[in-house]
Amino acid sequence: MSYSVFRSVKRGIVHVKTATGALSVGVNTLFYIPHEVGGTETYLRNTLLAIVRQESDVQLTLFTNRENHEVLTSDLGAFPQVRFVRLNFGARNRVMRIIREQLELPAKVRASGVDVLWSPGYTAVLACRCPQVVTIHDMQYRVFPQDMTPMGRLAMDVLVRSAARRCGRVIADSRFSKEQIVRFTAAGPEKVDVVHLAAGRNFADLIPPARRDALLGRLLPGDVPYLLCVSALWPHKKIHTLVEAFGKLGRAIPHRLVLVGKPGLGEPEVARAIDALPFPERVIRLRNLSEQELVALFQGCAVFVLPSLYEGFGLPVLEGLAAGVPVVTTRCASLPEVGGEAAVYYNPNDPSALVRTISEVLRWSPETRQERSRAGQAHAAKFSWSATGKGTVDSLRRCAETG
């Protein structure tokens, strides 16, 4: 999953109605640490808001932790069909979180009387009396094992495969992720539901130029064009190859390179690539941005680049298209499923392909750029959080009905 942020906008209260189709859903949010789980935060918060805004016969019970309780009550506390059960522990110690999740959460779920439990963060409760649905976003740890420690990888494998086996349904972010889940777990294809993510509408809503310039002025030195990449620094993201390509473009372009995202196990390669540049000062690194700052960066960039070899969905690609900017990425994993014909692709196995592709995009005429911008926004508009919410509830209902 990619690095992103969330916009919380409450558009009114949805009143609960009693109906034959009423569904009580427990939501296991114990994995969620605000600002630390990347794209899964965007997924969780936007999907929950979509559900409460449009599914008036769905009641949610959120099982929260110390870190996320305040954020989630701020997002959803005004909706009468949402209640909260706080478990009094933090999630930053992942081992202790998993242990207490398995030991304490089942009793809380049983006492809540929910019809079905949804775990949106890869793992699920192993002993639960009600039906369960789990969202498995990708199988990155199997395809790129170097992204985790051996012990972390082993624990992840046990938990993910157990969740896929025990849960009545599995939600995948893309058709690609579904294929991977079926390949690496015991889940049959008939129990895996594909529910796409979406870019927030704020990415397509143009920030007034004066406001955007003010936002960018606080982040970037001078009024200089820039290339943008938004991604956590894991080895499979191949961010160092973008830095190297930027170095080869050299003095031929005036641009800076802006990297947004938290450090990961790919940090040493990226740091070495930056140090090797003849102009390392032209690389700007940012993290922990506000929603408006991130949107301003997307809307103001010359090109958005994601050189990743593996994405369960690749949300920043869709956000770049929604913002109306050229998006350069690979045809790996789910990226062509998300980018469609609107993104520009290059072959990551060709060392010079990224340099050539960025150069070609930068040479687009204003007319071509405008035409591609409209096509990108039209493609991004095919995805919506409303559809994500509906698809999620459909999966939850199927699980609750079949037990």
Terminal CA-to-CA distance of the chain, rounded, Å? Answer: 30
108's tokens: 């809380």
74's tokens: 């701020």
The pLDDT value given to residue 222? 85
pLDDT tens, position by position, 126-154 = 999 999 999 999 999 999 998 888 988 99
2's tokens: 């990619």
d(CA 12, CA 285): 38
Cross-strand pairs, 194 = 172
Q: What residues have CB less than 8 Å from 250, skipping those under 6 apart? A: 278
The pLDDT value given to residue 13? 32
Residues of the chain with CATH 3.40.50.2000: 23-199+384-397, 205-380
Is residue 8 over pLDDT 70?
Answer: no
Residue 7 confidence class, pLDDT cut points 50, 70, 90: very low
- Between the alpha carbon of residue 196 and those of residues 1, 43, 177, 269, 323, the distances in Å are 13, 10, 10, 32, 19
pLDDT tens, position by position, 183-218 = 999 899 999 999 999 999 999 999 999 999 999 999
| DSSP track, 79-95 | -TTEEEEE-SS-SSSHH
d(CA 189, CA 175): 11
Strands (E), 241-369: 256-260, 283-286, 303-306, 327-330, 344-346
d(CA 400, CA 23): 8
Q: What residues have CB less than 8 Å from 29, skipping those under 6 apart? A: 44, 62, 63, 64, 65, 68, 72, 120, 121
Q: Which residue has tokens 């069909």?
A: 81
d(CA 34, CA 311): 21
286's tokens: 């940012």
Q: What would the CATH number be for the domain defined by 23-199+384-397? A: 3.40.50.2000
The pLDDT value given to residue 311? 97
CATH H-level superfamily of 205-380: Glycogen Phosphorylase B; (3.40.50.2000)
Amino acid at 340: G
